[in-house]
Amino acid sequence: MDIVQAALEAVAYRMGLVFDLLKPLADPSPQVVAGGGVVLAHPAWLQIITDVLGVPVTASQVREASARGAALLALESVGELEDLSAAPSFPGPAYQPRAERHRRSREAMKRQVEAYEKLVGHSNA
C-alpha cells in the first residue's frame, strides 16, 4: 500500500508543478475541477491532489470528461451552443486542502524536483 500511495503522491506532485506554472495566468482564486473515472473512483487520491495544490478542488460528476469536452466544442463550433459557459456543470463533492499536508507536500515536491534534476540533469519545473 505504501508503494501505491507513493506513486499517487508522485503524480500529484507533478500536477502541483504544472499548477504552479499556470498560476500566474489564472484567476487569483482559481476554481479547480477534477474529472475522470479514476479520480472519481478514488477520493483519497483527490484529497492528495487537493493537499498538494493547496486550493479547494471540486470533483466533477462527469465520468467521461474528455468526451464531454469534445462534444461541447463540437456543439459550439456548429452554433448549437452559444457559449461553453452556458453548458451545465455537474459538480460533486468539494475537497478542502489540509494546511499541514499542503506544507509537507510542498517540501516533498522540492525533494522530487531535486532528485529528478540529479537523475536527468535538468528540470522544466
CATH of 2-120, one of 3.30.70.1230, 1.10.1670.10, 3.30.930.10, 3.30.420.40: 3.30.420.40
Higher pLDDT, 100 or 125: 100
Domain boundaries, the chain: 2-120
Question: What is the C-alpha separation between 107 and 117, in angstroms, rounded?
Answer: 16
The secondary structure of 41-71 as a DSSP string is H-HHHHHHHHHHHTS-EEEE--S-HHHHHHH
pLDDT (0 to 100) of residue 59: 92
72-85 burial, b at 16+ Cβ within 10 Å, e below that, comes to: eeeeeeeeebeeee
Tell me the pLDDT tens digit for each residue of 17-50: 999 999 999 888 888 999 887 888 889 999 999 9
- Portion of the chain with pLDDT greater than 90, in percent: 54
